[in-house]
Amino acid sequence: MGMGVSVRHQIAARAAKEIKNGMIVNLGIGMPTLVADYLPEAMEVMFHAENGVLGTGPAPEKGKEDMNLCNAGGLPMTVVPGASYFDSTTAFGIIRRGLLDVTILGAFEVSTKGDLANWIVPGKIVSGMGGAIELAQKAKKVIVLMSHLDKRGNSKIVEQCALPLTAKCCVDLIITDMAVIEVSRDGLTLIEVMEPYDVEEVILKTAAPLNISDEIKTIQ
């Protein structure tokens, strides 16, 4: 039960609204990379890659790839005017100093407290945890993009994570194919519902208690 392409883009477009002019942003691999496509053209955002670039641009046209230029996932990329290069130590120094305004990550599970499990499913081959631990702990705002349910139809938003944690109490906002949910000390608050779902269905399909915002919106 995977998500269609259009749904993935709908989630990315909603996440893009959280990014403001002048921010430094790190996008995780997978769905988060789509977010860059939905920023207004005039907006100036510096995308950070943990392999050592500040100011990454879109993927290059076929045939125009620079072999020396790749993102943290190893894929070819471009840079924007004003970009800078540095070693991984400096890249992680930027993360650990808390200089990233936003990081957008994928996830397998998020708990009521905002605990994040996004790096390993036992028994599956993984590429390692990458920069996710530092990103989740240190970015000023942590946004998770994921499907609301896993392949078996179980909620990925849970009271307590069963999978190994990436970081505790770190997630600020969850955006799924069904809903937008804020995480705070009071727990989870449903603030937006994605069409064609309604509030009742989101509550039914979420394995954690949800507060309902007074100003709940429907995203078409």
* Total domains, the chain: 1
Is cis: bond before 76, omega within 30 of 0? Answer: no
How many CB atoms lie under 10 A from the CB of residue 164? 14
- Annotated catalytic residues are 50
pLDDT at position 164:
93
pLDDT at position 180:
98
pLDDT tens figures, 143-196: 999 999 999 999 999 999 999 999 999 999 999 999 999 999 999 999 999 999
**With 0-12 CB in 10 A as exposed, 13-18 as middle and 19+ as buried, what is 45?**
buried
pLDDT at position 2:
66
Task: Give pLDDT < 70 ranges for the chain.
Answer: 1-2
What is the spatial distance between Cα 17 and Cα 35, in angstroms, rounded to a whole number? 9
pLDDT at position 58:
86
Domain that holds residue 210: 5-219
Residue with tokens 């430094």: 24
The domain that holds 144 is classified in CATH as 3.40.1080.10
Q: Compute CA distances 92 → 72, 83, 212, whole Å.
A: 12, 17, 37
